[in-house]
Amino acid sequence: MYRSYHSALFIALVIYFFSASQAFALTTPTAPKLKAKSYEVIDFHSGKTIAEKNSQQKLAPASLTKIMTAYIAFQEVEKGNLSLDEKTRVSEKAWRTEGSRMFIEVGKFVSIDELLHGMLVQSGNDATVALAEHIAGDEDTFAQLMNQQAQLLGMSNTHFTNSSGLPDENHYTTAHDLALLTRALIAQFPELYKINAIKEYTYNGITQQNRNKLLWRDSSVDGLKTGHTEDAGYCLVSSAVRKDMRLISVVMGTKSERTRNDDNQALLNYGYRFFKTHLLYKANQPLAKPRIWRGAQKTIEAGLAADLYLTVPRDAYKHLEANLDVNPQLSAPISKGQKIGIVHVMLKGKEIEQRPLVALQGIEKGSTFDVLKDEVLLMLQ
């Protein structure tokens, strides 16, 4: 890669960034020591891991499984394949499903909206199976959809056999994979996600409270899902927003409901206390205008294809800088979105991150005169 600095502003630009193994070491304390089998806390916007323990360990997820069931249901609603007002007839299998219940009745018609509330607020296994059957025909087929979506989301250590999380030796996931799933669900379905913040729901004359007690303890928490079986222990995926910074915390395999709540609260508090997330650059924001050879135009606007959010330790700011590395012999034609350089993020002189610098516009090849003129200039260089 040829190095060319096109703007003193960007050469000297001090930015906010971090590396989990390097920037954290500045003055940031280590994460709380928790007894959970596995956990991970990430920033929603940047996707950066703030703390983790055994986050790639395959474990039984219990009702955390319902996050994937919700993801697929939300996706069907967004695509227009499913309506919240649409009703489905409750099968005997759904009605008989063991574990926590919404108390739907066999043969009765229940709306998709009611089933989503029954699944996410009341954690009803019966509601979950009814949703799966309505979407895919039967639960086995729905499990195939779950596994396909898991692969698309990069959940490489996950396999589902049912929609509710009932115990099965081939039904497992990881804290990291659940963090990926939760991030995707919130990003893609922000309105439907709000169901997770509801503290209680009444169906068939029976009112049940949301099992996520952090909704009462911490006003910044707005989701997401609890889980418990003898095999899985007590689990909780939580998410919170404080001053526009959203964190996602996944805790798996604790010994009590209180512990899973305390562990999630500890991770959220740690993340908010010692880290901060910034939107450094917006997508399609011009960062440089490098020279283009043999083109109809002499320069091209360059930037990033996606928003660049950075999560950094609160005291890491002064130790970071960024450089733009642009090919000095860019030649037309160049298509919009084509990679033409790299943004390097440095910590005390050591690279910790890089992002592709792309063309924000297309440049066609110039006239014969333009091409010949640039050929001569390049030869002289």
Percent of the chain with pLDDT over 70: 92
Nearest to 245 by CA among 269, 281, 216, 217: 269
Nearest to 321 by CA among 288, 294, 344: 344
How many helices and strands, by DSSP H and E, does the chain display? 11, 15
Q: What is the pLDDT of residues 198-238, one digit of tens each?
A: 999 999 999 999 999 999 999 999 999 999 999 999 999 99
Determine which one of 63, 100, 239, 249 is catalytic.
Answer: 63
List Cα–Cα distances, 121 to 67, 203, 204, 223, 241, in angstroms. 12, 11, 15, 10, 20
Q: What is the pLDDT of residues 64-76, one digit of tens each?
A: 999 999 999 999 9
94 or 365: which leads in pLDDT: 94
Q: Which domains does the chain have, with CATH numbers?
A: 8-20+280-380 (2.60.410.10), 36-254 (3.40.710.10)
pLDDT value at residue 59: 98
pLDDT value at residue 245: 96
38 is catalytic: no
Determine which one of 19, 38, 55, 123 is catalytic.
Answer: 123
124's tokens: 């009803």
Determine which one of 66, 213, 225, 276 is catalytic.
Answer: 66
Residue 295: band (very low, low, confident or very high) from pLDDT cuts 50, 70, 90: confident
What average pLDDT does this structure show over 273-291? 91
CA-angle at 125, arms to 123 and 129, nearest 5°:
130
Residue 278: band (very low, low, confident or very high) from pLDDT cuts 50, 70, 90: confident
66 is catalytic: yes
**213/236 Cα distance (integer angstroms):** 10
| DSSP-derived secondary structure for 50-61 | EEEESTT--B--
pLDDT value at residue 374: 65
243 is catalytic: no
